[in-house]
């Protein structure tokens, strides 16, 4: 009987130490401050010669935020936060070569600088540069752009809501 009491006391002390040292931990995974409930995503700026990637990427990110449902998309007035982006580079390179040393597929790389701002507290929460690529064959580069945009959407949404 004494052994059970001793084990109970030691376990209780151990749990109290863990709770007091670590505090209360939230398993939501979100790094978004609790006062931020809404977000505005203006059209990403495009510093490249490409046409339409800015709209595709902005639309994809808005769609991703909407599906994630952590934040509510809102207009620029009265919003809690803003996610801004600048497409800084779009480049292509050959992926694989065939036996005649001709490129059989290509990769298109899109690099974007993204800033997440807390409007209420007037501070930048994070600013990062992301680069992703998409693969395409022949002259159908839209497939590569679409794949790169989808990958960028995923990493940006993950950074936004989880910070991992």
Instruction: Determine, yes or no, domain membership for 2.
Output: no
> Which pLDDT value is given to residue 139?
79
Instruction: Determine, yes or no, domain membership for 147.
Output: yes
> Which pLDDT value is given to residue 31?
72
Instruction: Determine, yes or no, domain membership for 146.
Output: yes
Instruction: Give the separation between CA 33 and CA 13, rounded to whole angstroms.
Output: 32
CATH code for the domain of 137: 3.30.160.150
Mean per-residue pLDDT, 145-149:
98
Token pair in block for residue 82: 């803003």
Instruction: Give the separation between CA 91 and CA 39, rounded to whole angstroms.
Output: 30
> Which pLDDT value is given to residue 16?
45
- 20-45 pLDDT, tens per residue? 444 333 334 557 999 999 999 999 99
Give the contacts of 158 (CB within 8 A, at least 6 positions apart): 164
Instruction: Determine, yes or no, domain membership for 18.
Output: no
Statement: residue 134 has pLDDT above 90? yes
> Which pLDDT value is given to residue 111?
98
Mean per-residue pLDDT, 4-9:
59
Instruction: Determine, yes or no, domain membership for 67.
Output: yes
Range of the domain at 62: 30-161
Instruction: Determine, yes or no, domain membership for 4.
Output: no
Instruction: Determine, yes or no, domain membership for 19.
Output: no
Instruction: Give the separation between CA 155 and CA 164, rounded to whole angstroms.
Output: 9
Q: Are strands 81-94 and 106-118 parallel, antiparallel or unpaired?
A: antiparallel
Give the contacts of 120 (CB within 8 A, at least 6 positions apart): 35, 36, 80, 81
61 alpha-carbon distance from chain centroid: 9
Token pair in block for residue 158: 């993950």
Residue with tokens 């030691």, as numbered in its chain = 10
Rg (CA), the chain: 23
How many other C-beta atoms can be found within 10 angstroms of the C-beta atom of residue 90?
18
User: Is the pTM for the entire model greater than 0.85?
Assistant: no
> Which pLDDT value is given to residue 156?
98
Where does the chain have alpha helices with state H?
Answer: 2-22, 53-68, 141-161
* Count of domains for the chain: 1
- 74-99 pLDDT, tens per residue? 999 999 999 999 999 999 998 777 77
Do 135 and 95 touch, CB atoms closer than 8 A?
yes
The pLDDT mean for the chain works out to: 86
Instruction: Determine, yes or no, domain membership for 11.
Output: no
């Amino acid at each position: 009987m004494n052994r059970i009491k001793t084990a109970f006391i030691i376990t209780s002390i151990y749990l109290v130490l863990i709770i007091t040292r670590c505090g209360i931990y939230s398993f939501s995974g979100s790094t978004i401050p609790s006062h931020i409930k809404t977000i505005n995503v203006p059209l990403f700026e495009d510093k490249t010669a490409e046409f339409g990637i800015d709209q595709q990427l902005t639309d994809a990110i808005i769609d991703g935020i909407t599906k994630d449902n952590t934040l509510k998309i809102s207009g620029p007035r009265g919003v809690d936060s803003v996610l801004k982006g600048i497409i800084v580079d779009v480049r292509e390179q050959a992926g694989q070569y065939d036996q005649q040393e001709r490129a059989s597929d290509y990769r298109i790389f899109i690099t974007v600088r993204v800033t997440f701002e807390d409007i209420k507290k007037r501070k930048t929460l994070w600013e990062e540069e992301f680069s992703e690529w998409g693969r395409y064959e022949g002259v159908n580069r839209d497939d590569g752009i679409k794949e790169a945009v989808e990958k960028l959407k995923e990493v940006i949404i993950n950074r936004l809501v989880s910070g991992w």
